[in-house]
Copies of this chain bind each other. A is one copy, B any other.
Amino acid sequence: MSATIYDSKPLAARMAEELRAEAAQFRKRHHRPARVAQLVAGHDAAAEVYSRQLVRSCRAIGLGCATLAYPFEIEEEELRAEVAALNDDANTDGVVLLLPLPAHIRQRIVTDDLRPEKDVDGLGSRNAGNLLLGFPSFIPSTADAMLAVLRDADLSVAGSNAVVVGRSNIGGKPVALVLLRQNATITICHSYTQDLQERRYPRGEYGTAGQYHC
């Protein structure tokens, strides 16, 4: 099978256009811009790159973006109180919790405080559960982007063998579930997989490569 290199730029431009129109409609209807709040605890180089990109994207589309930064030392209870306040804030429509959180904060406790309808990254158990069960949910962005690309390229993966490399909660697992929902046969490989090089492509018509998380 020959490979096709897919150019995502036209799709990205079209999606930005659609989102701008949607954001403008929201503004008209609600007399305020839709607003995302991102919570950043401590410093992480990768998270900060992601955070700046989010601010830029929001600005380009016409969304409000509030960046709430906390020192590394913030207690779990304090962070939970901040999340609870955003849950109740009628002017905040989506909340992004930048990962990783400082090690003394239990991620699953904080992500589960987030109201599912504001958990736009799909980090909490309600959204994850609905993704697993095949019900409507927010889907972590890598998997969601892959869906958009498949749709744009008019590729059907039904009956195909898809190999997913990596099994993180925001990468490999949601990607695999999205492909399964599209009727692909899925194989999830990871750091314990013995014959990764051999498995990766000979049988898999579609491959996605992520990171190795255990």
Residues on A lying within 8 angstroms of B by beta carbon are: 108, 124-135, 158-159, 161, 167, 169, 173, 177, 180, 183-190, 192-194, 199, 214
Contacts and interface: CB of A to CB of B under 8 A. Distances in A.
A132 B174 CA distance: 9
A123 B134 CA distance: 12
Nearest to A127: B129
Contacts of A134: 169
Contacts of A188: 180, 185-187
A151 B183 CA distance: 32
Given A124-B129, A130-B125, A169-B134, A185 B187 contact: yes
B133 A131 contact: no
Secondary structure of the A side of the interface? mixed
17 contacts: A125-B125, A125-B128, A125-B129, A125-B133, A125-B135, A128-B128, A128-B133, A132-B132, A132-B169, A159-B194, A167-B180, A180-B188, A180-B190, A183-B214, A185-B188, A185-B193, A187-B187
Contact of A129 (B126, B183, B186): B126
A177 B135 CA distance: 18
A213 to B, nearest CB: 10
A134 B168 CA distance: 10
Contacts of A130: 108, 125, 128-129
Nearest to A179: B188
